[in-house]
Chain A
Amino acid sequence: MNMLLSVRNLKTYYRSGSSVVPAVDGVSFHLRKGEVLGIVGESGCGKSTVARSLINLLDKSNARIEGGEVLFHGEDLMKQSRKAWSRIRGKKISMIFQNPQSALNPVYTVGDQIAEALTVHQKMSRKEARDRVVELLKLVGIPEPESRLTNYPHEMSGGMQQRAMIAIALACHPEIVIADEPTTALDVTIQAQILALMDRIRAQFQMGMILISHNMGIVAEMCDRIMVMYGGVVVEEGETAAIFAAPSHPYTKGLLASIPSLDEDRDTLYAIPGSVPRLTAPVGHCRFAGRCAYAKSKCWESEPPLIEGENGHRSRCWLMEAPDRGHDDERE
């Protein structure tokens, strides 16, 4: 069924001093053609590390992929050479970053940086490259593209910078775009523009997209499927509609309940107690147990697997193991 990317048991650990931080600790998922997968979670949950592992941009001095495979067209991306990576990145898989101002090189023009995304992958004349850049700038909705391409990043607004970053990511029509908090640095009205643009372009080119965000609203609007991450693992996964209609993991439930709503008035918000824990490997219990209102002794004794519910909706919680569900079938 048009599987684009299939990630199995990915583990990426950070070493800091003598302790090992299991930033990503056995994450499995897949991405279909044309699908938008949301990865949502709070700081330190591992969502950005997943993104950086997929496109091989980890800081080699302290991060290491400890295991797992990432299958893309039948090949394991984790086993590619440096040279092979420079043919994959930008051409097959590209990335949109959180802060466009720091993701654009200040000393080159925006046009040069978009053109570079083209010329590193295919031979073309200056004229051809320039024409393509103008086309791309039009595509991402930058007005007066002919004059904008000689602009340096600092001469553009944040919204325009992010449009330029999207043009770079799209230059070679990649099959997968990874967007890591693409609108977090932008104003609300500009964020709405960028999200609409990403949605339009994804549909137009039928790309698969992995959208990483801490914002429940953004993933609700943009994604077909959602993975909720906590402490380096996926705690809940399913169709967007199913997750928002009936969240099953206590963490997801808590998160949704803690967001102030525009539609209704509540005097106090539900608040998950405590704060995000700092874990060290190996972890032998449910990572959310310390903050969970339903935690029982079993949650401290062993870590639950992702347990399947209805319609492929899965949740990493022993509560899912209700008697009427019968068996737990983990497919990791």
Chain B
Amino acid sequence: MTRFIVKHLLKAILTIWFIVTVVFVITRMSGDPTDGLLPDDASASVRHEMRVSMGLDRPIHEQYAEYLGDVLAFDMGDSYYYLRPVNELFAERAGRTLTLGVASFVIAIAIGVPLGVLAAIRRNSLADRWMMGFSVAADAIPGFVLGILLIFLFSLGLRMLPSGGSGTAAHYVMPLIALTLGSVANIARLTRSSMLDVLRQDYLDSARARGVRETAVIFKHALRNALIPVVTIIGLHIGALIGGSVVVETVFSFSGLGSLIVSAAQQRDFPVIQYGTMLIAIAVTFTNLLVDLSYGWFDPRIRKPH
């Protein structure tokens, strides 16, 4: 087990290093950040001075070496735009995005899995058909369209919820719905088809034949097997969730990490982009590591190959 974790940790670190490097190179190729920071009529010498102060005049491999050194020393640099340490900027907003993301993730699983199980055991019933219809529709609507529709309905129409901003609990409601609905649908559909597969298996009949009650047959014997493929997809959802939160935060002017990174990209605020993508890379690789570990719990054939 320890070997398994160490091996996967090493792989995760390798992955993160790779992503950080690619992002570093791409940002340097994306153009001159002083374009956005200085007025259009700024003189060439002013521009040059600014680039020197940012260290952008040096060869890229020197910049890269310095950047890696800083990262290892947990120095993420200052934002070009806000002129403040990137760490501080992120710390202010991370809580909100984290709340949004974790809540969305938990809700998607908590609703999606039971819905899928229900649809599978009531296959072809009215409930099943409604569920499938809803799921296709919810999956088809992009988060930002859904966000705008929600604003029309709840903010402009019913005047129940604030259309944008962040701070109170009410500010979370619509972003959460916009972010989560697609995932719920997706997980429900996947759980359903995986469950239908498992419901045909002999070991359920053999459990029934030894006197196990139907509820235990479903929730003890079938569900754990059905979740094995679902767990893989849930891992992939983390990536989609982060992408989705960037869009949704922008739609709802929700002041979190997503909107920070989007504006940083527009302003060529390299330190913010780099730190943001690194955090995302860390989040994704580590949740995938957790998924891999839980995979072993769900499926002993992986934990103890024969």
* Chains A and B in contact, CB within 8 Å: yes
Contacting pair A105 B211 (CB below 8 A): no
Asked if B7 is at the interface of the complex by the 8 Å CB criterion, the answer is: no
Q: In chain B, what residue has the closest Cβ to A89?
A: B211
Question: Do A107 and B224 touch across chains, with their CB atoms under 8 A apart?
Answer: yes
Find out whether the CB atom of A152 lies under 8 angstroms from the CB atom of B211: no
Question: In the bound complex, what is the Cα–Cα distance between A165 and B205 (angstroms)?
Answer: 13
Does B61 interact with chain A (Cβ within 8 Å)?
Answer: no
A94–B210 touching, CB < 8 Å = yes
**Contact (Cβ within 8 A) A117 B224:** no
CB <8 Å contact, B304 and A57: no
Say whether B209 contacts A102, CB under 8 Å: no
Question: Within the assembled complex, what's the spacing in Å between the Cα atoms of A109 and B224?
Answer: 13
Query: Using Cβ atoms and an 8 Å threshold, which residues of chain B touch A99?
Result: 202
| Distance in angstroms between the alpha carbons of A87 and B212 in the assembled complex | 9
Residue on B with the closest CB to A178?
A: B209
A155 within 8 A of B: yes
In the complex, whether A91 has a CB less than 8 A from a CB of chain B is yes
Task: Considering the complex, give the chain B residue whose CB is closest to the CB of A83.
Answer: B213
Residue A120 contacts which of B212, B225, B299, B306 (CB distance < 8 angstroms)? Answer: B212
Instruction: Report how far A87 CA is from B298 CA in the complex, Å.
Output: 29
Known: A105-B203, A152-B301. A57 touches B211 (CB 8 A): no
- The reply to whether A90 and B210 contact each other, CB–CB distance below 8 Å, is yes
Is A106's CB under 8 angstroms from B202's CB? no
**Total residues of chain B contacting the partner, CB 8 A:** 23
Q: Which of A91, A106, A154 touches B211 (beta carbons < 8 Å)?
A: A91
> B25 CB to closest chain A CB, in angstroms?
45
Q: Could you say which residues of chain A place their CB within 8 Å of the CB of B212?
A: 86, 90, 116, 120
**Known A-B contacts A107-B224, A116-B212, A154-B300; A168 and B206 likewise in contact (beta carbons under 8 Å):** yes
Interface residue A103 (Cβ < 8 Å from any Cβ of B): yes
Q: Are A152 and B304 in contact (CB under 8 A)?
A: yes
A-B pair count, CB < 8 Å, reads: 81
- Interface residues in A152-176 by Cβ distance below 8 A to B read 152, 154-155, 165, 168-169, 171-172
Instruction: Convert B287-306 into 0s and 1s, putting 1 for each residue whose CB lies closer than 8 angstroms to a CB of A.
Output: 00000000000111100101
Asked if A106 contacts B300 (CB within 8 A), the reply is yes
Q: What B residues does A116 contact at CB under 8 A?
A: 207, 210, 212
Interface pair B224/A171, CB less than 8 Å apart: no
Please tell me if A55 contacts chain B, counting CB pairs below 8 Å: yes
Q: Is A95 an interface position by the 8 A CB rule?
A: yes
In-complex Cβ contact of B210 among A102, A106, A117, A154 (8 A): A117
Q: Contact between B301 and A106 (Cβ–Cβ < 8 Å)?
A: yes
B211 near A121 with CB under 8 A, answer: yes
What's the minimum C-beta distance from B210 to chain A, rounded to whole angstroms?
Answer: 4
**B47 contacts which chain A residues (CB < 8 A)?**
none
Contact of A79 with B by CB under 8 A: no
- Verify B300–A57 contact, CB threshold 8 A: no
Known pairs A106-B299, A107-B298, A154-B300; A117 contacts B211 (CB<8 A):
yes
Query: Is A36 positioned at the interface, with any CB of B under 8 Å from its CB?
Result: no
**Given pairs A90-B211, A105-B225, A116-B210, 7 additional interface contacts (CB within 8 A):** A89-B210, A102-B201, A103-B202, A105-B207, A154-B300, A165-B206, A171-B210
A contacts, CB < 8 Å to B: 55, 57, 82, 86-91, 94-95, 97, 99, 102-109, 116-117, 120-121, 152, 154-155, 165, 168-169, 171-172
5 CB contacts below 8 A, A to B, read A99-B202, A106-B203, A116-B212, A168-B210, A169-B210
* Chain B residues close to A by CB (< 8 Å): 201-203, 205-214, 216, 221, 224-225, 298-301, 304, 306
